[in-house]
Amino acid sequence: MLKSRLSSKQLSVVVALIASILSNTLFAQQYTLNEIVNKAISYYPLIRQRNAELKATHAHIATVEGNRFPSLKIHDQVSLGTANSLNGTFFPMGVIVPTAGGVRDENNYNLASGNIGLSYLEWEVYNFGYYNADKKDAIAGQALRQAILNNDKYSITEQVIFLYLELLKQYQSLRVEEENVKRAETIFKAINATVISGLKPGVDSSIARAEFSKAKINYLKILTKYCDSRITLSNYTGIDTADIIPDTSIFSKTKNIDSEEILWNDSISDSHPFLDVYKKQYNLQIADNKLIAKKYLPKIFIVGVASMRGSSISSSDIYSSNLADGLSYSRYNYAAGAAFTYNLFDLKHRRDQLIEGRYNAEAKKEALNNSRNSLAMALAQAKEAYNNTLLQLHDIPLQVTAYRQAYEQQIALYKAGLNTLVDVTNALYGLNEAELNYVTAQDSILRLLAIRAGINNQLNTFLEKFK
């Protein structure tokens, strides 16, 4: 009687747990696969990061276009100091103050005031195509960022699909284990009653109790996996964990899907978001190489300057006692011209960088080819696995039916005293395993359909089927 009461307490815990889950299910919202994917695309931080990076490339193009504008600098300066000079030439050194004026035999330490205002125009009017190459390089960079964004969206979509299918698998497995707990409970109650009445040996009650406990443990293991799947999916979507319930009608929808309708384009295309990133990386490297080729070409400038100066020192080298006299402008100059610049030693830099760029382009091209081959191999493997799993899915329902009938027959035979509890336990185990295999096979078909659709760049078509 004590053992019976302990089993009842254990049973009450499991029943309460199941009731709690069912209660949460009643208040939770059921999300379709398509809805979950859309939630993830709008919520996931990585996508928002990629959008911001793409906007930065738009701004960079505007920055590059602004490089065509001339430079116009306006400068005004008031100074106070001595004005001693010497004949001769030296290279600019920055810390030496330029001094204009006559050369005297001795230094004059009287202070003099001065004023200068000028405007300087410099316009790189022609650089043999560098401006256009720079803009095309910026556009190629923008195209790469767009490709990365598209690929991340596609990758997140694939990840969320598989996370959703994992949640669905655990949800279906939980229902199977729930039924298994009920069957084990039924067996235990029936056998315990016969043991108490003396019709069956006590060992049968112990074995039945062990199988009942085993069924409850398996249920709790699946429950843990199910909760983990909900938490993981919540991280991608921002939806409260308790609110996520999978759409079980997806299995019936799978039966109505003509695989040829979805997978009619069962091939690899460079338009696939994953391959497009490598393609855009190659295009950017080609644009970089062209930019380098233009960077070291000659440059033609238009330059112009206008200046005004004032000084408290007269043309006859007389220092005015009124320093304010140097604040007014007394001399005016202007100049305009064209300049041609070319660094002959840049030819070596240009050659070295172009060789480096050529090898980088070759490496990126081979990376594209390697990625294309990887997708082709994955597609071939997915097609083979799909065909084999489809054959299994045709036979497993027959297996489930057969095991269910065997289980019912073994129960009837046991009650009639024509077999042992071991036969009943084996039938229970076989039925539970067959039902779980059916869930696994359904999950595998959905996963393989998603993999093939993903490789074929047809995820949107796949998702359309499960709205």
**What pLDDT shows up at residue 21?**
52
Q: What is the mean pLDDT of residues 17-39?
A: 70
Looking at residues 84-88, what average pLDDT do you find?
A: 86
What confidence score (pLDDT) does residue 344 get? 87
pLDDT at 128: 93
Residue 252, Ramachandran bin (φ over 0: left; ψ between -120 and 50: alpha; else beta)? alpha
Does the pLDDT value for residue 15 go beyond 60? no
Supply the pLDDT for residue 6. 41
pLDDT band at 4 (very low <50, low <70, confident <90, very high): very low
Q: Are strands 244-246 and 29-31 parallel, antiparallel or unpaired?
A: parallel
Q: Which residues pair with 302 in a beta bridge?
A: 123, 338
For residue 100, being part of any structural domain is answered with no
Q: How far apart are CA 207 and CA 195, in angstroms?
A: 12
- Angle at alpha carbon of residue 10, lines to 7 and 12, rounded to 5°: 110
338-353 average pLDDT score: 90
**pLDDT value at residue 265:** 67
Q: Tell me: the pLDDT tens digits for 279-316?
A: 999 999 999 999 999 999 999 999 999 999 999 998 88
**Does residue 117 fall inside a structural domain?**
yes
Whether residue 263 is predicted with pLDDT greater than 80 in this model: the reply is no
pLDDT exceeds cutoff 60 at 7? no
pLDDT at 1: 37
Report, as an integer, the average pLDDT of 82-98.
Answer: 84
Task: Give the rounded percent of residues in the chain with a pLDDT score beyond 70.
Answer: 90
What pLDDT shows up at residue 241?
Answer: 82
Q: Please, what is the average pLDDT of the chain? A: 87
> What pLDDT, on a 0 to 100 scale, did the predictor assign at position 228?
93
Is residue 137 in a domain? Answer: yes
Average pLDDT over every residue of 51-55? 96
Q: What is the pLDDT of residue 129?
A: 94
Domain presence at residue 424: yes
Q: What is the mean pLDDT of residues 55-73?
A: 94
- Domain span at residue 425 reads 2-78+111-464
pLDDT at site 27: 54
Instruction: Give me 151's structure tokens.
Output: 């690929």
Give the span between the Cα atoms of 425 and 404, in whole angstroms: 13
Is residue 214 within 8 Å of residue 432, measured between CB atoms? no
**Which whole number is the average pLDDT over 341-349?**
88
| Res. 233: pLDDT tops 80 | yes
d(CA 287, CA 73): 32
How many separate domains does the chain show? 1
Mean pLDDT confidence for 190-196: 76
Is residue 10 domain-resident? yes
Q: Is residue 91 part of a domain?
A: no
Indicate whether 118 belongs to any domain.
yes
Q: 3-state DSSP call for residue 308?
A: strand
Could you tell me the CATH number of the domain that includes residue 384? 1.20.1600.10
Answer whether residue 103 shows pLDDT above 60.
Answer: yes
CA distance 404 to 397: 11
Task: Report in angstroms the alpha-carbon separations of 133 from 61, 79, 96, 291, 354.
Answer: 12, 45, 40, 5, 14
Mean pLDDT (whole number) for 339-363: 92
| Top-confidence residue, 208 or 5 | 208
The whole-number pLDDT of residue 5 equals 41
- Contact residues for 383 (Cβ-Cβ < 8 A; gap 6+): 266, 452
For residue range 111-149, what is the model confidence (pLDDT) as tens digits?
999 999 999 999 999 999 999 999 999 999 999 999 999
**pLDDT tens-digit map of 398-429:** 999 999 999 999 988 888 888 888 888 899 99
Which of 443, 389, 465 lies closest to 171 in space, CA to CA? 443
What would the pLDDT profile of 202-224 be if each residue is shown by its tens digit?
677 888 888 899 999 999 999 99
Residue 83 inside a domain? The answer is: no
